[in-house]
């Protein structure tokens, strides 16, 4: 390995993609067990590596020298081999600083809670201290090493203004988990989550739903990678590089989710988008038909609407964990808040708002098989579609126009 990333589980890491976008060297991921870490570090057969969970502290004994920042934090995420000597750095510090700057959050004098006790929590502590935060408390399940328990955080510090999550709670594949309920904190202003997969954890979705400044860890990941690349190559990168890579990566990884009435053209628009953008397209209704082995009308007739909705949720749960897709949802998919939440984790939801008089009834849609049903259904569901959507697309023209509008808004 010349350059790469080491950790315990890296199959879904974005780091290789980011470093390929930087384009200065070959970069690979290598999963190591704790037993393999010692021999890997002892052999020193690399030029530069990034280090992730759970080895940010474990690599330190193998290093010849630590940067002042890495030494004070006690965690290393970047190692450079210079003539056989290993130098350790913490570019996560600069990455988190860049994320807070992007969010425009004023940390000075604010009470902050840091969730977690690992290497990233130490970085968060250093960043908050350097930014002039007021009181800072670490929170962990055990409450060891002078940390608060989660119950203590809720009962004693409900006036916290900043929360930074550095735990893996909510990270892929366990995306339905959340480390803490934010409604307990009455003065909360901003939430940061170091997790970048999914793009928006449930913690971030809850914070955004409360109108708070909230960001996941993708920008931090890109910013620290750019800093690491500068250490690897010993050459500076343009100041705009972090934003360029972040924008491109977010566009590539974020799903485009189409919601709207039956017959509004979601499938047609989805296929146009998939062709134009070179992405895979998944149609929730088609996947249900494939799995059930019969048409939707027959599912409703023989097994009932409740059975259909359960299948719909199962499929949405599976596909919403993936990245870079075009997803055409069913007309009633957004009736479930759980479906909306899951689709929102990695997706941007576009409401294809086609007027009722432009919607054609068809026999394969049991809830919209005549004009009267369509009009009634539209009136009932319109507030739900509007509430779920990130963007409303007026669809009173041809599908090609709708597709072009969506492409312009995501590129």
Q: How remote is the C-alpha of 274 from its chain's centroid?
A: 21
b/e map of 246-276 (b: 16 or more CB within 10 Å)? beebeeebbbbbbbbbbbbbbbbbbbbbbee
Tokens of 345: 């984790």
User: For residues 321, 322, 324 and 327, what is the CA-based torsion angle, rounded to 10 degrees?
Assistant: -70
The CATH number of domain 3-90+222-241 is 3.40.190.10: no
Identify the residue whose tokens are 């750019």.
226
Catalogue the active-site residues. 56
Residue ranges, CATH 3.40.50.10860, the chain: 3-90+222-241
What per-residue confidence (pLDDT) applies to 374? 85
Strand order in the sheet with 48-51: 28-31, 3-7, 48-51, 78-82, 85-89, 65-66
Cα 74 from Cα 90, distance rounded (Å)? 9
Q: What is the pLDDT of residue 373?
A: 82
Q: Which CATH number is 94-216's, of 3.80.30.20, 1.10.3720.10, 3.40.50.720, 3.40.50.280?
A: 3.40.50.720
Position 367 scores a pLDDT of 67
Long-range CB pairs of 400-407, under 8 A, 24+ apart, other chains included: 400/272, 402/265, 402/269, 402/352, 403/269, 403/272, 403/273, 403/276, 406/256, 406/269, 406/273, 406/350, 407/273, 407/276, 407/277
- Which residue intervals of the chain bear CATH 3.40.50.720? 94-216
- Looking at residue 411, its pLDDT comes to 80
How confident is the model at residue 128, as a pLDDT? 98
Nearest in space to 59 (alpha carbons), one of 69, 49, 68: 49
Length of the chain in terms of residues written: 411
pLDDT in tens, the chain (411 residues): 899 999 998 988 899 999 999 998 999 999 999 999 999 999 999 999 999 989 999 999 999 999 999 999 999 999 999 999 999 999 999 999 999 999 999 999 999 999 999 889 999 999 999 999 999 999 999 999 899 999 999 999 999 999 999 999 999 999 999 999 999 999 999 999 999 999 999 999 999 999 999 999 999 999 999 999 999 999 999 989 999 999 999 999 999 999 999 889 999 999 999 999 999 999 999 999 999 999 998 999 999 999 999 999 999 999 999 999 999 999 999 999 999 999 999 999 999 999 988 887 676 666 666 777 888 899 999 999 999 999 999 998 999 999 999 999 998
What tokens were used for 29?
């991921």
Q: Is 384 exposed, middle or buried (0-12, 13-18, 19+ CB in 10 A)?
A: middle
The CATH 3.40.50.300 portion of the chain extends over 254-410
The topology under which CATH files domain 254-410 is Rossmann fold (3.40.50)
pLDDT at 12: 83
């Amino acid at each position: 390995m010349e350059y790469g990333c080491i950790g315990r589980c890296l199959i879904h890491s974005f780091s290789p993609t980011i470093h390929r976008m930087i384009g200065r060297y070959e970069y690979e991921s290598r999963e190591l067990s704790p037993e393999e870490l010692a021999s890997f570090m002892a052999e020193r057969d690399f030029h530069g590596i990034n280090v992730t969970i759970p080895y940010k502290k474990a690599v330190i004994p193998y290093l010849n020298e630590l940067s002042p920042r890495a030494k004070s934090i006690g965690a290393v995420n970047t190692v450079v081999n210079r003539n056989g000597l290993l130098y350790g750095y913490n570019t996560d510090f600069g990455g988190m600083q860049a994320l807070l700057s992007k969010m425009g959050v004023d940390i000075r004098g604010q009470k902050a809670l840091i969730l977690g006790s690992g290497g990233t929590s130490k970085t968060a502590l250093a960043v908050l201290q350097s930014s002039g935060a007021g009181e800072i408390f670490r929170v962990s399940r055990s409450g060891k090493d002078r940390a608060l328990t989660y119950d203590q955080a809720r009962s004693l510090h409900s006036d916290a203004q900043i929360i930074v999550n550095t735990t893996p709670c909510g990270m892929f594949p366990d995306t339905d988990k959340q480390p803490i309920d934010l409604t307990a904190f009455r003065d909360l202003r901003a939430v940061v989550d170091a997790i970048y997969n999914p793009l928006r954890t449930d913690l971030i979705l809850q914070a955004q739903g409360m109108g708070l400044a909230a960001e996941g860890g993708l920008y931090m990941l890109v910013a620290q990678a750019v800093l690491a690349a500068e250490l690897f190559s010993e050459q500076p990168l343009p100041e705009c590089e972090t934003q360029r890579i972040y924008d491109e990566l977010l566009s590539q990884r974020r799903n485009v989710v189409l919601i709207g009435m039956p017959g509004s053209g979601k499938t047609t628009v989805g296929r146009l988008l998939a062709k134009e953008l070179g992405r895979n397209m998944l149609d929730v209704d088609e996947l249900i038909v494939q799995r059930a082995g019969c048409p939707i009308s027959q599912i409703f007739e023989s097994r009932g609407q409740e059975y259909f909705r359960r299948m719909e949720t199962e499929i949405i749960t599976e596909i919403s964990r993936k990245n870079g897709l075009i997803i055409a949802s069913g007309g009633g998919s957004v009736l479930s808040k759980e479906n909306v939440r899951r689709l929102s984790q990695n997706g941007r939801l576009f409401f294809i708002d086609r007027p009722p008089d432009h919607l054609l009834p068809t026999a394969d849609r049991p809830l919209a098989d005549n004009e009267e049903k369509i009009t009634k259904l539209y009136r009932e569901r319109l507030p739900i579609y509007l509430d779920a959507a990130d963007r409303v697309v007026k669809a009173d023209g041809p599908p090609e126009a709708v597709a072009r509008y969506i492409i312009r808004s995501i590129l």
